[in-house]
Amino acid sequence: MKMSDLQNMLMDYMEFMVKMRSGMNKPKGAIYLGMEDFVKQNGELFTSTKYPKKYIDSRGEKKDCYRNAFQLMMSNSELTYVEGYGISKTIPLPIPHAYCVDEEGNVVDPTWDDQEDCIYFGVKFSSEYTYETIMRTQIYGLIENYKERFPLYMGKHKDFK
């Protein structure tokens, strides 16, 4: 499978989910129709390359991407925390995912192996917003912040970048 096929699958998935939800009633005051809509409108495509050797000791547990990405960002000020989606050649299904990017926009994914065979599309969050939100809510993950009733979907946290 070509990388362009994966990219198209990911973008088609987000578009499909937004269209499907557009027939539903939006929660009162909501600006976005769920995670896909938020990511699609605020996110970007990131370059995936081989996992950088300088972060090799920062690999985290499988299936714990939100915590792994947060911890990687906290120990490396040059990295930016990102939430969105990833899709891989191994499992060609769009999966909600967190990772980091460096100053050039290259992915640093402490959770998935073979990141060079993945497509990443997500929203960058400032380290201040990431840290403050995770400390306040005591949960990893920003977009699906159920503890505060999904403030990003409601447009309440405009200072996330």
pLDDT digits (tens, 9 = 90+) for 75-101: 999 999 999 999 999 989 999 999 999
Name the residue with tokens 């070509």.
2
| Statement: residue 161 has pLDDT above 90 | no
CB 80, CB 106: distance < 8 Å: no
pLDDT at position 49 is: 92
Report helix angle 35-42 to 3-22, nearest 10: 120
In a domain, 113, yes or no: yes
- Closest CA relative to residue 112, chosen from 74, 62, 73, 69: 62
Q: For residue 69, what are the domain limits? A: 3-148
Say if 134 falls within a structural domain.
Answer: yes
Residue 27 has pLDDT above 90, yes or no: no
Is residue 159, in this structure, part of any structural domain at all?
no
Mean pLDDT of 93-114: 96
User: Is residue 69 classed exposed, middle or buried when 0-12, 13-18 and 19+ CB atoms within 10 A define those classes?
Assistant: buried
Pairing of strands 107-108, 95-101: antiparallel
- In a 13 Å sphere around the CA of 101, the CA atoms on its Cβ side amount to 22
Q: Report yes or no on 161 lying in a domain.
A: no
Instruction: For residues 19 and 2, give the distance between their C-alpha atoms in angstroms, rounded to a whole number.
Output: 26
Average pLDDT over residues 118-134: 97
Decide if 157 is inside a domain: no
Structural domains counted in the chain: 1
Rounded to whole angstroms, the Cα distance separating 62 from 46 reads 21
Q: In this structure, how many other beta carbons lie within 10 angstroms of the beta carbon of residue 70? A: 23
For residue 155, is it within any domain? no
pLDDT tier, 47 (very low <50, low <70, confident <90, very high otherwise): confident
Pair 97, 120: CB distance under 8 Å: yes
Distance CA 69, CA 83 (A): 9
Which residue in the block uniquely carries the two structure tokens 């300088």?
54
Whether 114 is in a domain gets the answer yes
At 129, list the tokens.
């917003």
Q: Residue 1 — very low, low, confident or very high, per pLDDT cuts 50/70/90? A: confident
Task: Answer yes or no: is 156 within a domain.
Answer: no
Are 108 and 100 in contact, with CB atoms under 8 Å apart? yes
